[in-house]
A and B are shown apart, each in its own frame.
Chain A
Amino acid sequence: MSGRYLLQKLARAVLTIIVIVLLNFLLFRAMPGSPARIASHHPGVTQAAIDQLAARWGLDKPLIPDQLVAYVNATLTGDFGLSYQFRGEPVTEVIGDRFWPTMILIGLGELFAIIIGLALGAYAGWRRGSAVDRVGGGISLVLYSMPYFVIGMPLIIVFAAGLGWFPTSGMFDAGATYASGLDQLLDFAHHLVLPLTTVTLGLVGAYSILMRSAIMETRSEDYITTARAKGLTDGRVLRTHAFPNALLPMVTIIAIDLGYVVAGAITAEVVFNWPGIGTLTVDALQARDYPVLQGIFLLLSFTVVLANLVADLVYGFLDPRVRV
């Protein structure tokens, strides 16, 4: 990986973040009738509060440069304003509380889905037409076509409401007191099982379908013939020659897919009432809590851009040819 590649990717990430910040400004500030819009949706927000807001963001001043400068300054210092809904609380704190539950859900979901999806896809693509390929391919396509909440709802019906194995919602038992940290962790894990299964299943389909075609593409490469000519076992050819090469396009695809994962996680959280960014988004949507929505938009976009940057670096690390 050359320095130039690194710089190029960094530059792209920075540019994208600038676009996101500008877009955010345009969406939430420059749209016509912002203060009036706020007032119309929030009878509870007093005229005084709106005036205060207007003064704070310089809404009486021209959009560019004054408002933009004020906005960028605030954003850079992590000031996203105050939530309407959770009166008076800074947006950063409202979001901060919800950040980790979502990260755990998405992070673990990605981890499991990558392991299962890549393994299943690689095997199916390698043994094209085998039972694993046919059955796995069918299941993958169905999972791929299921919105996360469509996966989650039956899980609740069967395993929570029906069999009673897992709680139907939340992250901890309501009002529970714990004897030890371990107890608390176990309760958390118990609540996590179904949402995590939902996110994992939601991702596995896409990953295995994509990995299958990536493997099939490498299968016809000359170096695979070379590896077979070397008398390596079929499994070894797959593991040490086909897989590492098929992994390369997957890194990029998984990174680009992160946006969809975030989307899926939002709906999965709603189904299980998981106290993360997803449920917060829906609450904020209903309450038209624009500062919070704006903060969420920034946070999720940043995270995805950052993850893409990481993916680019991983790619540069995995593919010795990268020097662009």
Chain B
Amino acid sequence: MTVQDAATLRARRQWPMPKQAVPGAPLLEVEDLSVRFRMPGGPSVKAVDGVSFRLEDGEAMGLAGESGCGKTTTALSLVRLLPANGRISSGSVRLFGIDLVPKTERQMARYRWREISMVFQGAMNALNPVKRVGDQIAEPIEIRLGQPRGAAQKRAAELLDLVGIPEKRASAYPHELSGGMRQRAMIAMALACDPALVIGDEPTTALDVMVQAQILALLERLRRDLGLSLMLITHDLSVIAETCDRVMIMYAGRVAEEGPVRRLFSAPRHPYTAKLLSSFPNIRADRRTLDTIPGSPPDLRKPPPGCRFAPRCAHAMPVCTEEAPTEVRFADGVRVACHLFPPGAQGVVASGVAASGIGGGLVRAAALPSAGGRP
């Protein structure tokens, strides 16, 4: 995505950009982010450790990895909404070039929802059960954008319409809506302030397959029409394949591999990505032959030295348990942190690591053009 595009996309937004925005800076640039959770009477949990990534205007990035690998924590630290015992221990989160990490709570409020909004997993719990849906959507418009109540209510109704809920349901309470409708309402709420970035943390997990597809189509459409950027956290790799431009795979609080969806899914380089892809069921694969990843993720209170995947990795070498691998970037835009790809050996793939046909099958099942050969 070019700077030109970014400018157009930014110009489409209704509300002024933050005053401190650095011209020409990318939408979001996360660098070396680390998050710790204090634990009573014990070592703290290093839930996120040195994560970096960048998100351009209008771009959609998928975030995947086993449960507990730090996806939600990463997302929450972008808006600094970590649980009370959590703290960003190092790194920066730059939005339009503005570092959000040192901001006070009061300053931070300016960026929440107006620039970055979120759609959580269970809208039943994420919506306030005793407030009308319309009021909950209108709330940020009224409070954050200073719109009069009437205008805010009107806008809320429009937003509901936009996500395919009849306007008159604005007076409904969350429990009166179906699961899919609630998730739509949640999306309408996320759009209330016309944000630059919407983060969806497993926004469709609780829904049945049909509704899931509808919600994803909706997100896709909104992204196109509104020029949104999207960060989509999900366990469903086919969803990422369908919806996202890029994907980031996390393992035990670190980035394993990141890059364009097609490249990464058709030719995974990191052994963990490969395992993840081959353990993912898809329409073609015979479920009985599905790979599982033996073992379980490490205890993040005392992660193993070196590569955190080493205890479970079939390709582990002596160096893996001693030194943490550094990230290398390939010409095709993929970034990998694995000793199989030492710095300087860019463009080289060790044989036998990449996924078998299943990764490709996944991409085909996801109706993407067949991926090219491996580099």
| Chain A interface residues toward B at CB < 8 A | 221-223, 225-234, 236, 240-241, 244-245, 248, 318-321
Contact = CB atoms under 8 A, between A and B. Distances in A.
A229 B129 contact: no
B317 interface: no
B218 to A, nearest CB: 19
7 contacts: A230-B139, A231-B114, A233-B109, A240-B131, A245-B128, A245-B129, A318-B130
Nearest first, the 9 closest Cβ-Cβ pairs linking A and B are A231-B112, A222-B125, A320-B173, A231-B109, A223-B128, A222-B126, A230-B113, A230-B140, A231-B113
B319 to A, nearest CB: 41
A225 B75 CA distance: 13
Contacts of B111: 231
A81 B122 CA distance: 61
B244 interface: no
Nearest to A320: B173
A245 B130 contact: yes
Contacts of B112: 228-231
Contacts of B126: 222-223, 225-226
Nearest to B199: A229
Interface of B: 79, 81, 105-106, 108-114, 117-118, 120, 122, 125-131, 139-140, 143-144, 173, 175-176, 189
Contacts of B113: 229-231
Contact of B129 (A236, A240, A321): A321
A236 B143 contact: yes
Nearest to A221: B125
Nearest to A233: B109
Given A230-B113, A231-B111, A225 B130 contact: no
B17 to A, nearest CB: 16
Contacts of A245: 128-130
Contacts of A227: 128
Contacts of B117: 229-230
A221 B128 CA distance: 9
B198 to A, nearest CB: 11
B329 to A, nearest CB: 32
B231 to A, nearest CB: 14
Given A229-B81, A236-B143, A245-B129, 17 more contacts: A222-B120, A222-B125, A222-B126, A225-B126, A226-B126, A228-B112, A230-B113, A230-B139, A231-B108, A231-B109, A231-B110, A231-B140, A240-B131, A241-B128, A244-B128, A244-B130, A319-B129
A223 B363 CA distance: 36
A320 B126 CA distance: 16
Nearest to B129: A321
Nearest to B130: A244
Contacts of B109: 231-233
A299 B131 CA distance: 38
Contacts of B127: 223, 226
Nearest to B118: A229
Nearest to B176: A320
Contacts of A236: 143
B131 to A, nearest CB: 8
